[in-house]
Structure 1
């Protein structure tokens, strides 16, 4: 067994496509994901009938984070003299810029960012070096799997995940970890894309693999929405809700990809898959009983 194999056993397996895309391929450096948030964006309020700018793209990515963090409640955004309260953890934090946004704009005492890929954790620490140096007690960036979080029981008031759950291999284990690390009354919010419905749809999985490289390669999993909502309920979480936000995501993403041209042409099939009912984008929320 190599040292790398030992690390995999400790942190959980990293699927080959995930290892490549977030390792040497460095998805965060791709123009379609400029700004470092690595999400498809929430395009509400951004006009789509004219040219889209790089600033529009970054705005969409920040807006998706805000939509998720707003869904958690707990005091709203931080005011100029607002006191921090509560602890949050982001699962699949990537470059950690979403953690930094949460600290800047929301009343959290601290935010912990967890990512399974060692390269992403290293990049996140470099990207947030100044913040880590200024307030080391408020930001922590660590390696860990969604199914095996390196966190204590009842450690957090809020757990959130932005466009990472499509990579999780065991949503049941992830849901149990949500229940374990949240304090009583704590809340979770997950934004990601799923196949609509409660049951596995082999036909949808095949169609998505034919249209989109990310499904064909195994980077993304064609999982029904009900797999996540059912797992959260089975783990003992309550008030499990799922909101479709596809109209806020897919048309804007497609328009931006049209603007930046052929190198990013293949993801434009996301909009077609959404319109054909094969895929949708959801914001899922739940709470641990008080």
Structure 2
């Protein structure tokens, strides 16, 4: 990996504002969720060496944002048991960083990605072209709840922190089951409320606006219900475990450190910097909201002998 260049441009700020307004005001669900992610460009990310923008998995709490993102991608790959020669479907792939990492580290035969953001699809395709990976990494515009693939064609289906947006997530579970081969695995890193976490409308922190605007009510349930929905979809060997202790609090600490770092303010746009400052201005409110959120790692297997 190499450090990304200085990432400030008026066009990036325009995209940020447009996506923000779309995510809050659009009446169409897909358009609203797309707005949440279309607002992000490399000029509006916490990362320095990548384009991840997930919560991350923090083993010490002191690692860099990029390293925590890589650790989360690695954890998901382990849960899915991605192996050399296998075929993987990555749903909601962001800018595709995890696919490139898995290809290098895990050596699958091919990785296919679906995403509803044309902006992110184009960015991932461009990187695949630049890195000469177009024969192994394929990115396309499609919905995870209506997958454009035949039955039984993947060894693994993975989803890194996007399933909370699917309408509903249970439909994605059924689609994942359909496209998996017998013995295939599903693995998901996802955000759900803790038991008794309260309604989405009760969240007040600006940093969590997306919970109110872009999470379907049918997805707003705890990890026990989550496991039950995987079973209803036909999966077996279902595991849904919380990793919130290595997610939310160190993620917040990293944001606070980063926002206060003068070098970060010089690297990103003034608009984005000011938005992050506002999002973390009331830490008590933000911590109160985060105390009601879980972060889970789920895995499940489609019954039948692996081929």
Extract unaligned runs of 5+ from structure 1. Answer: 1-12, 76-83
SS of the aligned residue for 1:188 comes to strand
Q: Which residue in the other structure is 2:4 paired with?
A: none
User: Any gaps of 5 or more consecutive residues in structure 2?
Assistant: 1-27, 260-273
Which region of structure 1 is more displaced relative to structure 2, 155-164 or 119-128?
Answer: 119-128
1:251 aligned to 232, 249, 252, which one? Answer: 249
In the superposition, the TM-score normalised over structure 2's length comes to 0.76
Alignment of structure 1 residues 108-123 onto 2, 5 Å: 108-123=108-123
User: Shift of the alpha carbon at 1:204?
Assistant: 3.0
Of 259-268 and 171-180, more deviation after overlay is shown by 259-268
- C-alpha change, 1:74 and 1:20, in structure 2 (3 Å) is closer
Q: Out of 187, 190, 206, which is 1:189 matched to?
A: 187
SS at the partner of 1:152? coil
Partners in 1 of 2:249 and 2:204 — Cα distance?
21
Distance in 2 between the 1:213 and 1:228 partners? 23
Q: Does 1:147 align with 2:155?
A: no
Match of 1:219 among 214, 239, 242: 214
* Alignment correspondent of 1:157: 155
1:62 aligns with 2:70: yes
Kindly provide the CA deviation profile for residues 180-212 of structure 1, in whole angstroms up to 9, marking residues without a partner as x: 011000001100110124xxx693322225663
- 1:151, distance to aligned residue in structure 2 (A): 1.6
Say whether the 8 Å CA contact 2:197–2:293 is kept in structure 1: no
RMSD of aligned Cα (Å): 2.3
Q: Is the 8 A contact 1:57 1:256 kept in 2?
A: yes
Q: How far does residue 45 in structure 1 lie from its aligned partner after superposition?
A: 3.2
Native 8 Å contact 2:56 2:69 kept in 1: yes
So what's the TM-score if we normalise by structure 1? 0.80
SS of 1:15's partner is: helix
Counterpart position of 2:200: 205
Aligned to 2:233: 235
